Amino acid sequence: MVVTRFAPSPTGYLHIGGLRTALFSYLWAKKNGGKFLLRIEDTDKARNSEEAAIAIVNAFEWLGLAHDGEITYQSKRDDIYAKYIQQLLDEGKAYRCYMSRDELTELRETQMANKERTMYDGRYRDFVGTPPAGAEAVIRIKAPKSGPIVVKDGVKGDITFQAEDILDDFVIARADGSPTYNFVVAVDDALMGVTEVIRGDDHLSNTPKQIVVYEALGFVIPAFYHVPMIHNSEGKKLSKRDGATDVMAYKEMGYTPAALLNFLVRLGWSHGDQEIFSMEEMIALFNPKDINKSASIYNTQKLDWLSAHYIKNMPNKELAALLEFHGLLLTSHDKKEILLDSLKERAKTLQELAELTKEVLNTPTSYDEKAVAKGFKADAAEVLNAFAAKINAADELHLPSDYHQLMEAVVQEMEIGFGKIGQPLRIALLGKLSGPGLDSVMSIIGKEETLLRIANAISANS
């Protein structure tokens, strides 16, 4: 069975880059009928917070990416790590190193001065006898001193590192006994049964270290897929300083999970010329071997386009429910079908749709100056009064077409062009010269409100 995982450290919100690797992991698990696990890497007590862990879980909930089984918290697994560290000690695959921090620093400085690679020199590797008085010990793993270590990567191909270039006997447990990252990652992935590790390629250079741990412990090495970074416009790794990298910020801005996920899945992955992917299609078509090798630049123009696409094609009922989050209660509005039909193809986000809706629903309190100058000429009042008279005379006005007929009638009787009534009426109804169809607007707001807006505009602008 295919088992993937997402393993964030709870130092902040869920990041857009993290979400993409999580999505890839999720899709691959689902495609194979496997499991997608969530592990919270909260071993750094100084930097982690519980709120951050909750925020991450909430973000996944909003996106509808459900993890399988219980969440694994590394902070609760000290006993497990201690057991495996002890095992390595017992088997002579790890050892206590009594070197002080000062000594380590000194070693590094010497190496730097000699332009050598900074690395631990293995001085306690074969140490027997009495440790220095009062010295605290870290535990180091015996890493191979030379020879190739091959990372079989499903995205980049086989990558060969030379142990002498990159490895030393790295620390697997600190002086206080707590295990370090590369150790716990390997242990957890193995114990959780993770078969495919899909993660950012900033982890690529950690992988040889983790392979050392896998091998020392006799664990099966999983398949690796290192997905390229997402870069900011400067071409650097996307970070929290780049703004709008908090996934939940996209909810606030009015993007739907479908749009965001569709946007992210196409960043670094593609399937021919296809741009629109439903969750079902993503699951059916995704394969990590098709992930690009190169980094991509984060640019949300396409997200806007996708978002508009999804809003346009969303049933009104669903839209109305989503709009509540943006402060709009439409459930009881009797013309909400007409309202949303005429507005949903004009908005890029739900937030924008909510604002557009309010512009239609609320009586204008001011009129755009340029619009008035251009579209509310001397004869405007006369035309609007004639139109108002027709509205007053009509007893049944409901559909946009009902209002449209009255507009046509005024145009014919007064022998004027459509613009002669369209422009002033638009200013009266919306306060500006752009917006949805006037007949729809009138149908939505109704007869009384239409008359009110016409009267307001005439007194304000003539």
Partner RNA sequence: GGCCCCGUCGUCUAGCGGUCAGGAUCCAUGGUUUUCAUCCAUGUUACAGGAGUUCGAUUCUCCUCGGGGUCACCA
Nearer to RNA, 240 or 293 (CB): 293
Q: How far is the CB of 183 from RNA (least distance, A)?
A: 8
CA distance 316 to 416: 37
Whether residue 247 contacts residue 63, with contact meaning beta carbons closer than 8 Å, is answered with yes
Q: What dihedral angle (degrees, nearest 10) is formed by the CA atoms of 246, 249, 255, 259?
A: 10
**Residue from the set 96, 142, 152, 237 that interacts with RNA by CB under 7 A:** 237
Q: How far is the CB of 155 from RNA (least distance, A)?
A: 8
- Active-site pick, 240, 293, 317, 358: 240
Instruction: Say whether residue 242 binds RNA (CB under 7 A).
Output: no
Instruction: Say whether residue 267 binds RNA (CB under 7 A).
Output: yes
377 as an active site residue: the answer is: no
Number of residues forming the site for RNA (CB under 7 A):
84
Instruction: Say whether residue 166 binds RNA (CB under 7 A).
Output: yes
223 beta partners: 196
Instruction: Say whether residue 410 binds RNA (CB under 7 A).
Output: no
- What's the chain's length in residues? 462
Q: If you compute the radius of gyration of the chain from its CA atoms, what whole number of angstroms results? A: 32
Residues 43 to 102 in contact with RNA, rule: CB under 7 A: 43-44, 47, 74, 99-101
Instruction: Say whether residue 254 binds RNA (CB under 7 A).
Output: no
If one counts every other C-beta atom within 10 angstroms of the C-beta of residue 295, the result is 18
Which residues, at least 6 apart from 218, have a Cβ–Cβ distance to it below 8 Å?
Answer: none
Q: How far is the CB of 2 from RNA (least distance, A)?
A: 22
Q: How far is the CB of 143 from RNA (least distance, A)?
A: 13
302, exposed or middle or buried, with CB in 10 Å at 0-12, 13-18, 19+?
middle
**Residue from the set 114, 130, 294, 365 that interacts with RNA by CB under 7 A:** 294
If one counts every other C-beta atom within 10 angstroms of the C-beta of residue 190, the result is 19
Joined together, the tokens standing for residue 462 give 């003539």
Instruction: Say whether residue 422 binds RNA (CB under 7 A).
Output: yes
* HSE of 114, CA atoms in CB hemisphere, 13 A: 9
Q: How far is the CB of 168 from RNA (least distance, A)?
A: 8
Instruction: Say whether residue 175 binds RNA (CB under 7 A).
Output: yes
Instruction: Say whether residue 345 binds RNA (CB under 7 A).
Output: yes
Quick one: DSSP state of residue 176? T
Whether residue 4 contacts residue 28, with contact meaning beta carbons closer than 8 Å, is answered with yes
**Residue from the set 181, 333, 360, 397 that interacts with RNA by CB under 7 A:** 181
Instruction: Say whether residue 134 binds RNA (CB under 7 A).
Output: no
**Residue from the set 33, 129, 134, 235 that interacts with RNA by CB under 7 A:** 235
Tell me the window of 87-95, 115-123, 279-287, 384-392 that interacts with RNA (CB under 7 A).
115-123
**Residue from the set 146, 332, 434, 459 that interacts with RNA by CB under 7 A:** 434
Joined together, the tokens standing for residue 126 give 């074969």
Instruction: Say whether residue 266 binds RNA (CB under 7 A).
Output: yes
Instruction: Say whether residue 9 binds RNA (CB under 7 A).
Output: yes
Nearer to RNA, 33 or 289 (CB): 289
Tell me the window of 39-47, 65-73, 86-94, 280-288 that interacts with RNA (CB under 7 A).
39-47
Instruction: Say whether residue 142 binds RNA (CB under 7 A).
Output: no
Instruction: Say whether residue 426 binds RNA (CB under 7 A).
Output: yes
Planar angle of CA 382, 383, 388, nearest 5 degrees: 95
CA distance 216 to 183: 11
Instruction: Report DSSP letters for 204-254, one per residue.
Output: GGGHHHHHHHHHHHTPPPPEEEEEPPEE-TTSSBP-GGGSS-BHHHHHHHT
Nearer to RNA, 34 or 361 (CB): 361
Nearer to RNA, 34 or 377 (CB): 377
Element (H, E) at 150: strand 148-153
Joined together, the tokens standing for residue 269 give 């992955």
Helix, strand, coil fractions of the chain, as percent rounded to 5: 50, 10, 35
Instruction: Say whether residue 188 binds RNA (CB under 7 A).
Output: no
Tell me the window of 50-58, 81-89, 114-122, 380-388 that interacts with RNA (CB under 7 A).
114-122
Joined together, the tokens standing for residue 167 give 């490895």
Tell me the window of 22-30, 251-259, 261-269, 317-325 that interacts with RNA (CB under 7 A).
261-269
Instruction: Say whether residue 162 binds RNA (CB under 7 A).
Output: yes
Catalytic residue ranges: 240
